[in-house]
Amino acid sequence: MRKLIPLLFLVGCSSTPLVPPPVEKAEPVVYHPALPTPLYPCVANWKVLIVDNQPYVALTYQDNINLAICGVKVESYIDELMEVVCHYRDGSDIQCKGRNVTTTISNE
Protein backbone atom coordinates (compact mmCIF):
# COMPACT_ATOMS: atom_id res chain seq x y z
CA MET A 1 0.00 0.00 0.00
CA ARG A 2 2.88 2.36 0.78
CA LYS A 3 4.22 1.95 -2.75
CA LEU A 4 0.85 2.89 -4.21
CA ILE A 5 0.62 6.34 -2.56
CA PRO A 6 3.72 7.86 -4.29
CA LEU A 7 2.42 6.50 -7.58
CA LEU A 8 -0.86 8.45 -7.15
CA PHE A 9 1.04 11.72 -6.75
CA LEU A 10 2.96 11.16 -9.98
CA VAL A 11 -0.21 10.70 -12.00
CA GLY A 12 -1.88 13.93 -10.72
CA CYS A 13 -2.88 17.03 -12.74
CA SER A 14 -0.78 18.53 -15.49
CA SER A 15 1.12 21.74 -14.77
CA THR A 16 -0.17 23.58 -17.87
CA PRO A 17 -3.92 24.23 -17.98
CA LEU A 18 -5.86 23.20 -21.05
CA VAL A 19 -7.18 26.20 -22.97
CA PRO A 20 -10.34 25.60 -24.99
CA PRO A 21 -10.18 26.70 -28.61
CA PRO A 22 -11.68 30.11 -29.32
CA VAL A 23 -15.34 30.00 -30.27
CA GLU A 24 -16.22 31.92 -33.40
CA LYS A 25 -19.38 33.94 -33.05
CA ALA A 26 -21.70 33.41 -35.98
CA GLU A 27 -22.87 36.61 -37.64
CA PRO A 28 -26.61 36.83 -38.22
CA VAL A 29 -27.74 36.55 -41.81
CA VAL A 30 -29.08 39.90 -42.94
CA TYR A 31 -31.95 39.85 -45.39
CA HIS A 32 -31.83 42.51 -48.07
CA PRO A 33 -35.14 42.76 -49.91
CA ALA A 34 -35.05 42.85 -53.68
CA LEU A 35 -35.80 46.07 -55.45
CA PRO A 36 -39.01 46.14 -57.48
CA THR A 37 -38.91 45.70 -61.23
CA PRO A 38 -38.27 49.03 -62.96
CA LEU A 39 -41.10 51.06 -64.45
CA TYR A 40 -41.28 51.92 -68.10
CA PRO A 41 -43.02 55.00 -69.49
CA CYS A 42 -46.63 54.61 -70.49
CA VAL A 43 -47.36 55.63 -74.04
CA ALA A 44 -50.68 57.27 -74.85
CA ASN A 45 -51.79 59.22 -77.87
CA TRP A 46 -53.36 62.34 -76.43
CA LYS A 47 -55.50 64.33 -78.83
CA VAL A 48 -56.56 67.93 -78.43
CA LEU A 49 -60.02 68.60 -79.78
CA ILE A 50 -61.40 72.08 -80.16
CA VAL A 51 -65.19 72.22 -79.85
CA ASP A 52 -66.89 75.63 -79.92
CA ASN A 53 -63.53 77.34 -79.28
CA GLN A 54 -63.03 75.20 -76.13
CA PRO A 55 -60.00 72.88 -76.08
CA TYR A 56 -60.58 69.33 -74.82
CA VAL A 57 -58.05 66.58 -74.31
CA ALA A 58 -59.14 63.15 -75.47
CA LEU A 59 -57.89 59.56 -75.35
CA THR A 60 -59.02 56.50 -77.20
CA TYR A 61 -60.67 53.78 -75.15
CA GLN A 62 -57.61 51.50 -75.44
CA ASP A 63 -55.22 54.29 -74.38
CA ASN A 64 -57.43 54.98 -71.38
CA ILE A 65 -57.24 51.30 -70.37
CA ASN A 66 -53.45 51.29 -70.88
CA LEU A 67 -53.06 54.36 -68.63
CA ALA A 68 -55.25 52.76 -65.95
CA ILE A 69 -53.05 49.63 -66.03
CA CYS A 70 -49.97 51.84 -65.86
CA GLY A 71 -51.41 53.62 -62.80
CA VAL A 72 -51.87 50.27 -61.04
CA LYS A 73 -48.26 49.36 -61.83
CA VAL A 74 -47.06 52.68 -60.40
CA GLU A 75 -49.02 52.07 -57.17
CA SER A 76 -47.54 48.58 -56.89
CA TYR A 77 -44.04 49.94 -57.51
CA ILE A 78 -44.45 52.57 -54.78
CA ASP A 79 -45.75 49.94 -52.33
CA GLU A 80 -42.76 47.70 -53.03
CA LEU A 81 -40.35 50.62 -52.57
CA MET A 82 -42.02 51.48 -49.26
CA GLU A 83 -41.47 47.90 -48.10
CA VAL A 84 -37.75 48.26 -48.86
CA VAL A 85 -37.59 51.62 -47.05
CA CYS A 86 -39.50 50.30 -44.02
CA HIS A 87 -37.22 47.25 -43.92
CA TYR A 88 -34.25 49.48 -43.12
CA ARG A 89 -36.10 51.76 -40.71
CA ASP A 90 -37.21 50.85 -37.21
CA GLY A 91 -40.87 50.73 -38.25
CA SER A 92 -41.98 53.68 -36.13
CA ASP A 93 -42.91 55.83 -39.13
CA ILE A 94 -46.57 56.29 -39.90
CA GLN A 95 -46.06 54.93 -43.43
CA CYS A 96 -44.44 51.77 -42.05
CA LYS A 97 -47.17 50.90 -39.53
CA GLY A 98 -48.93 47.66 -40.38
CA ARG A 99 -46.25 46.42 -42.78
CA ASN A 100 -44.84 43.00 -41.92
CA VAL A 101 -41.10 43.49 -42.43
CA THR A 102 -38.36 41.21 -41.05
CA THR A 103 -34.96 42.82 -40.65
CA THR A 104 -32.66 39.92 -39.74
CA ILE A 105 -32.73 36.15 -39.87
CA SER A 106 -30.70 34.41 -37.17
CA ASN A 107 -28.61 31.27 -37.70
CA GLU A 108 -29.57 29.89 -34.30
pLDDT of residue 103: 45
| Rounded-to-integer distance, Cα 97 and Cα 48, Å | 43
Q: Please state whether the predicted TM-score (pTM) of the whole model is above 0.85.
A: no
pLDDT of residue 32: 83
CB-side neighbour CA atoms (13 Å) of 54: 4
pLDDT of residue 59: 95
Please state, as a whole number, how many other Cβ atoms lie within 10 Å of the Cβ of residue 91.
13
Q: Residue 88 contacts by C-beta under 8 Å, 6 or more apart in sequence?
A: 103
**Per-residue pLDDT tens digits for 23-44:** 888 888 888 888 888 999 998 9
Residues of the chain with pLDDT under 70: 1-15, 91, 99-108
